[in-house]
Chains A and B, each alone.
Chain A
Amino acid sequence: MSDHTHDPVDVVIAGSGIAGGTMAAELAEAGFSVLVLEAGPQRKLSEMISSQIWSRRLRWAGPEVIETGDLVGAANFAMGWGTGGAGLHWYANWYRLHPDDFRVRTLHGKSVDWPISYEDLRPWYDHAQTYFGVSGDAKADQWSPQSQPYPMPPLPISRQSQALKKGFDAVGLSLGPNSLAINSQSYDGRAGCILDGWCDAGCPIGALANPLVLQWPRAFKAGAMLRHNAYVSKITTDPSGKRATGVEYLDADGARHLQPASIVIPACHTIWNARLLLLSATDHHPDGLGNGSGLLGRHFTSHALTTIHGLFPDETEPFRGVTGANTLCLEGYDDKTPAKGAFGSRAWLAAQATKPNDLLGLALARPELYGAALDDYMRRAVRHYGNMTVLCEETSIPENRIELDSRKDRFGLPTAKVTNNLPKDNAARSDLAKAEGLKIFKAAGVSEPWAGQRAPMHMIGGTIMGDDPATSVTNSYGQTHNVENLFLAGASLFPTPGAVNPTATLVALVFRTAKYISDNRAALLR
């Protein structure tokens, strides 16, 4: 029994981040009545305080996640809390998946294929980069898939990148400008970046495309509504089990609400999309909604990340630039079998702006140092530090999964448990990349480079798309196979992760799904 029942809407979306915000804006502009339920509090641009300490308030503060396996990371670090979700602290790295990433099973007999090809998604990638505003150099970026020219030229090459480029040149790899959803000049009424290195504390001037300056003004203008402190706990269905009727959510006081809707779209972070469907089990769907295949929660993937660090002879000004990366190397990305026993693509993201503290800060790059040794290192590092990150592909396997644990969260609901073990040949690929990175640093003149521990980055999968209801949770539009008016948005839909940050792909899929919903309006609203 619900405590409060609200007026029905055409579309209810769970999550106000990049996926939910974009979907809300698109559907509201198409004439749907749209309500977004956000678990966290209201956020304003004025809360984007330039401080790694203050910025932690933007990170996840909802129910905990239990992480197990050999790729265990800081899930709370990756997720957002409040209007805009993780979109308030994302790094704006903007990449397309390679055409081969869509058919890994066909080409290599591993992972699974997508139900669509790069060419299917290409027009939506093109649209998305104009919508967000992407800076980059498509000509220098010859290893990226073909696309329209980026709307803006790249950001200037930083001193850190200049120092690193010597190493890439020496080993025969190309390091070029990064592609970013960050304005290199004024664009669409938003300011150009001033390269002060505070991206993950939020960009209040909107040079970095975030939902508070991009999607939400559009969504509000088109009439979309946004309700905060509304934690969606269940999707409700009709007696037949074939249609969703709305959602239940809990407010800040724990009171239960029922929000009727004709179309339901979970657009939460990856873990919560799968968990919400699992929590919504009924007599018709005893294992969770969209789980006719038994694969709901399965095929969870991430990117195996390794960071390379060093102190350069020249000054590098590591505190300036952008947090994501100033430069990029995708050369060799398309070679998924670089050595016997090693599998997966890899991408180098180089010269990330680094402040003294926080998880990715200078001090935690050398966690073993303390006292006077730490102080000596910090004083040198603020002038001479350089870094880069390699993302390596993780094969999509059903054993890696999101499931419900017997332990209960603060709302009394089963806790989400994530199991993520890196397949052996992916680990070998990651080791190769680490050796490559150390070699690059040495070639750049760093006498004693070091590597961080392997860690997961980006949470992907769990509600994968596919043509066959027996082997997937949704179709290529994110529409669940067995509940016709239930769609999903976000990286949880990806059958495979490639080795690049997922946001550009996630957004391209949102645009494609929004068009599909608009085109099928009458059938879906019945």
Chain B
Amino acid sequence: MNRRRFIANILRIAALFGVAPRVVAGQSQEGSRPMSLTEPEAETLSKWCDLLAPGAARAGVARYIDQNASGGFGDSMLLLRYLDSGAMLPFYRGGIAGIEQESQHRFSMGFARLDPQQSAEIVAAAAGSKTEAWTTPDPNFFYFISRSDAVDMVYGTEAGFARLDIPYLAHIAPPKPW
């Protein structure tokens, strides 16, 4: 049992006493390369993913996607590598552009300025394949992939398991979340 790491209780206690580390969107401690996405792109992606899995922005989802979509395909940890061997960064850039396009079409303003109800309407449209202006990449597929990325950050790390109050049970614990 020594090789297993049960961090759930430790993290719960940390959270209880308010000592959990704060992570600013796009500035996770993971990944050291400069961002490939522009700041507005990263903000849109962060907000989008946070609507899919609340907590994703704080966990650094934009940097997670950026770093793993910008490097070598063989090194990527994104679920997208299962489904598409093409260039990853253009896929995400296209999705972000699609979100903005839909936002402008529906509300005549950028996604970052939308209120919660308006933002939710765009997510629902993508999830239900009912976007009006956004056509490529397939909005439903982009929803599927970006939701998975958000889930990775919120529920798929040791901290995520602790949040769900389940033991991590690692043979070899990850040296860092990603």
Contact = CB atoms under 8 A, between A and B. Distances in A.
A48 B155 CA distance: 20
A198 B83 CA distance: 22
A523 interface: no
A196 B12 CA distance: 21
A319 interface: yes
B169 A57 contact: no
B171 A53 contact: no
A76 B83 contact: yes
A319 B175 CA distance: 21
B63 to A, nearest CB: 14
A357 B155 contact: yes
Contacts of A64: 84-86
B151 A363 contact: yes
B148 A378 contact: no
B127 interface: yes
Interface stretch (B19-27, B94-102, B158-166): B158-166
B148 A364 contact: yes
What band does the interface of chain B fall in when counting residues whose beta carbon is under 8 Å from A? 35 or more
Interface string A33-74: 000000011000010111111101101010111000000001
Contacts of A48: 171-172
Interface stretch (B33-41, B50-58, B103-111): B50-58
A411 B173 CA distance: 36
B89 to A, nearest CB: 16
Complex A-B, nearest 9 residue pairs according to Cβ-Cβ distance, in ascending order: A357-B156, A64-B85, A61-B74, A196-B169, A50-B170, A356-B155, A77-B82, A74-B82, A363-B151
A370 B78 CA distance: 19
Interface in B130-178: 144, 147-148, 151-152, 155-157, 160-161, 164-175, 177-178
B173 A375 contact: no
Contact of A49 (B85, B123, B174): B174
A363 B169 contact: no
Nearest to B158: A51
B28 interface: no
A40 B156 contact: no
B114 interface: no
Contacts of B164: 356, 378-379, 382
Nearest to A367: B144
Interface residues of A, number: 50
Contacts of A379: 164
B74 to A, nearest CB: 4
Nearest to B84: A64
B79 interface: yes
B113 interface: no
25 contacts: A41-B74, A46-B172, A49-B175, A50-B168, A50-B169, A51-B157, A53-B157, A56-B76, A56-B79, A56-B82, A57-B76, A61-B81, A76-B85, A197-B169, A198-B169, A319-B166, A320-B169, A361-B156, A363-B53, A370-B51, A370-B53, A371-B123, A378-B155, A378-B164, A382-B164
A41 B74 CA distance: 9
Nearest to A415: B85
Given A196-B4, A370-B123, A370-B147, A54 B169 contact: no
Interface of A: 40-41, 46, 48-54, 56-57, 59, 61, 63-65, 74, 76-77, 81, 194, 196-198, 203-205, 319-320, 355-359, 361-364, 367-368, 370-372, 374-375, 378-379, 382-383
B86 A53 contact: no
A196 B82 contact: no
A201 B155 CA distance: 16
A204 B73 contact: no
B86 A54 contact: no
A196 to B, nearest CB: 4
B115 interface: no
A382 B127 CA distance: 24
Nearest to A81: B74
Contacts of B51: 370-371
A372 B82 contact: no
Contact of B174 (A40, A51, A374): A51
A54 B155 CA distance: 14
Contacts of B171: 48, 50, 194, 196, 198, 203-205
